[in-house]
Amino acid sequence: MTLREPESMEECVYFTNRAIDNGHAKAWVFREKCPKCKKGMMSKPFDEKAGKFKTRATEYVCPECKHSVEKEEYEGTLTANIAYTCPHCKHKGETQIPYKRKTFKGVPSLIFECSSCKEKVGVTKKMKEAKGKKSKAPIDLDDE
């Protein structure tokens, strides 16, 4: 399977390029056409005064017909494309998963399985570090 990579960020709802331990992952989600008019590409509302998109908006709007869809409803229909090098077995592969973040090691992540070793790999949100187990300070018995 060969995934089509985006030519510009304007065709994407989400794009990231992450280093994951000894591997890496590039993930992107393409914008979809309007479900009503099938012409325009859904995007966040555009603020004419500021001259940019409203990044914290809770809806997506079609620029052609002004049809709006709630963020959760729209993002639930999207598919994430991931090209990766597995941090466990160094296998290079590509996969598609639903665009839905789940908690992985305490961090919201897009979780997929390596096609070779079947280990779970998470593409974290906003460069957060995965939480590990905290170890207690070593006890020194020689001080008695």
Sheet containing 12-20: which strands, arranged edge to edge?
12-20, 23-30, 79-85, 92-98
State the amino acid at position 138 in one-letter form. Answer: P
Q: What is the pLDDT along the chain (144 residues), one digit of tens a residue?
A: 688 999 998 899 999 999 988 999 999 999 999 888 888 889 998 888 888 888 889 999 998 898 999 999 998 999 999 999 999 999 999 999 999 999 988 889 999 999 999 999 999 887 777 676 554 445 555 544
Q: Is the dihedral of CA 126, 127, 133, 138 positive or negative?
A: negative
Question: What is the C-alpha separation between 84 and 121, in angstroms, rounded?
Answer: 10
What pTM value is reported for the model? 0.80
Sheet holding 107-113, edge to edge: 102-104, 107-113, 120-124
